[in-house]
């Protein structure tokens, strides 16, 4: 019987809340995996693909930036946004990528742009496209 519990939570909803066999997440220092009995830790979450396996079935979810906490056979992923991979609109992500690139390019000529925000948008768009890719 599985005794690892996964919660993926956004400000709008609980995306996943279930017992799983394993989790692989895009951490701030690279992908990390969690199995039953894993030691406790905290990690930043980068935009990318979160995978979890339950009863020999693997699910894929795109997550944006946030945090993960692993403690006592529970992994909590708190992110700004999450969506099932089959719901990602690639054309929309490509448009967002182009907008972010344009904003970054224009920022070289002006100081009015919030460059970290534009870079974060670029990173999210790239991660969405790569995740379904």
pTM over 0.85: no
Per-residue model confidence as pLDDT tens digits over 15-65: 999 999 999 999 999 999 999 999 999 999 999 999 999 988 999 999 998
Tokens (6 digits) for 38: 């894993």
Helix (H) or strand (E) holding 111: none
Whether pLDDT at 2 is above 60: no
Look at residue 93 in the predicted model and tell me its pLDDT.
Answer: 78
Angle, alpha carbons 121-125-127 (nearest 5°): 115
pLDDT of amino acid 112? 64
Query: How many angstroms separate the CA atoms of 46 and 62, rounded?
Result: 10
pLDDT at 92: 82
**Orientation angle between helical segments 90-107 and 115-132, nearest 10 degrees:** 150
* Averaged pLDDT, 105-132: 73
Q: Answer whether residue 6 shows pLDDT above 80.
A: yes
Query: In whole angstroms, what is the distance from residue 101 CA to residue 63 CA?
Result: 21
Q: Which CATH number, 2.60.15.10, 2.100.10.30, 3.30.1330.20, 3.40.50.720, labels domain 4-85?
A: 2.60.15.10
Give residue limits of the domains in the chain. 4-85, 88-132
| Predicted confidence (pLDDT) per residue in 86-118, tens digit | 777 778 878 877 887 887 777 766 666 677 777
- For residues 52 and 122, the model is more confident at 52
């Amino acid at each position: 019987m599985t005794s690892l519990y996964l919660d993926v939570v956004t400000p709008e909803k609980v995306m996943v809340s279930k017992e799983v066999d394993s989790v692989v997440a895009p951490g701030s220092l690279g992908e990390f995996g969690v199995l039953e009995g894993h030691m406790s830790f905290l990690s930043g979450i980068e935009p990318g693909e979160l995978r979890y396996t339950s009863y020999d079935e693997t699910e894929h979810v795109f997550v944006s930036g946030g945090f993960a906490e692993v403690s006592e056979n529970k992994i909590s992923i708190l992110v700004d946004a999450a969506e099932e991979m089959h719901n990602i609109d690639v054309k929309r992500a490509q448009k967002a990528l182009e907008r972010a690139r344009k904003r970054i390019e224009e920022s070289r000529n002006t100081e009015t742009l919030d460059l970290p925000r534009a870079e974060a948008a670029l990173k999210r768009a790239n991660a969405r496209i790569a995740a379904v890719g």
